Amino acid sequence: MTAANKQQIDDWNGAVGERWLTYNDWLDRRTEAYGRAALAAAAAQPGETVLDIGCGAGATAFELARAVGAGGSVVGVDVSEPLLGRARERAAALGLAVEFRLADASRPLFEPARFDLLFSRFGVMFFDDPVAAFAELRKTLKPGGRLAFACWQAPERNDWYRWPLRAIAAEIDLPSVDPRAPGPFALAEPERIEQVLGAAGFGAIELSAFQAPFYLGEGEDPDAAAADAYDQVLRVGPVARLLAAQDEAVRARAEARLRGALRELARERGIAMMGATWTVTARAV
Ligand SMILES: C[S@@+](CC[C@H](N)C(=O)[O-])C[C@H]1O[C@@H](n2cnc3c(N)ncnc32)[C@H](O)[C@@H]1O
């Protein structure tokens, strides 16, 4: 693989990929609704050829395979070896013929005009050079072929991300993050999505705002829900990364803040937080 996207390739084959693997079922349940909205917009048809970009452990590739049926085909591409390993195991267990390819999706990988549809659930926000990446991907679409993906709206609209960080902010200086840097919120601005896709040769670009609750914790009662959320927030996501870098005393204080905040948020059986995405569709022009 190349120097492009090197940080992401390292991350998704290292600690980030391992955490995603461990919590894959949990993450699949949390992100299912947003993926469904994008799958509905993609409207994969029997017989179509489809690429699932940044397919991870394969959940949406399997949905696409069911939609295109035996007459169609689905390829999942991802840079993460551990996640693709899980995807292949799941495909075998489900009896679904999906091809999973370990590669950087922004590189020339496929012959031109191979696919009817390019799809992604949260797998297209990690490119160092999004215009170049989407332009490369566009070449793999048949003329008039479709692009459909889900990406997160801004952190201010995603409480599941913002609230845990807010809880620890009294103890830890939160680093300032370039909102356009590769990461979950790189395509949060609608104008940027339009600019990137337009410059990459897509037309008919449409964004549809989607919202669904993101269940940060679940349990039999509020205490159990808060404990579940605490457990997860400490393991996956930005809080986990920040806390790992602190000394023991600071970490203990921040963890206590987090525990208190989550318990306050917990209602009967769960902590439901706002999650907001863009469902984006476009066509190769
Ligand atoms: C947030 S995860 C989403 C995974 C999956 N689509 C899902 O919804 O469960 C982002 C995925 O994009 C992959 N990824 C990041 N950069 C990539 C690139 N340049 N080419 C291919 N995959 C990439 C990561 O390895 C990771 O599996």
Give per-residue pLDDT as tens, 107-163.
999 999 999 999 999 999 999 999 999 999 999 999 999 999 999 999 999 999 999
The answer to the question of residue 167 being in a domain is: no
How far does residue 127's CA lie from ligand 1's centre (Å)?
10
Ligand 1 site, residue 104, Cβ cutoff 6 A: yes
How far does residue 221's CA lie from ligand 1's centre (Å)?
34
The answer to the question of residue 54 being in a domain is: yes
Q: How many domains does the chain have?
A: 1
The answer to the question of residue 59 being in a domain is: yes
Pairing of strands 49-53, 141-152: unpaired
Give per-residue pLDDT as tens, 241-256.
899 889 999 999 999 9
Mean pLDDT score, 159-173 = 92
Query: 2: pLDDT confidence band, cut at 50, 70 and 90?
Result: low
Query: 93: pLDDT confidence band, cut at 50, 70 and 90?
Result: very high
Give per-residue pLDDT as tens, 81-91.
999 999 999 99
The answer to the question of residue 264 being in a domain is: no
Ligand 1 site, residue 58, Cβ cutoff 6 A: no
Q: At residue 243, what are phi and psi to the nearest 5 degrees?
A: -65, -35
The answer to the question of residue 52 being in a domain is: yes
pLDDT averaged over the chain? 94
Ligand 1 site, residue 277, Cβ cutoff 6 A: no
- Ligand 1 atom 19 nearest Cα: 104
Cα distance between residue 33 and residue 121, in whole Å: 10
The answer to the question of residue 257 being in a domain is: no
How far does residue 34's CA lie from ligand 1's centre (Å)?
15
Global pTM value: 0.94
The answer to the question of residue 218 being in a domain is: no
Q: In this structure, what CATH number is given to the domain that contains residue 135?
A: 3.40.50.150
The whole domain housing 189 covers: 6-154+176-213+276-284
236 contact partners, CB below 8 Å, separation of at least 6: 19, 20, 23, 26, 27
Dig out the tokens for 212 from the structure: 């669904």
Dig out the tokens for 120 from the structure: 């992604």
Give per-residue pLDDT as tens, 184-225.
999 999 999 999 999 999 999 999 999 999 988 888 899 999
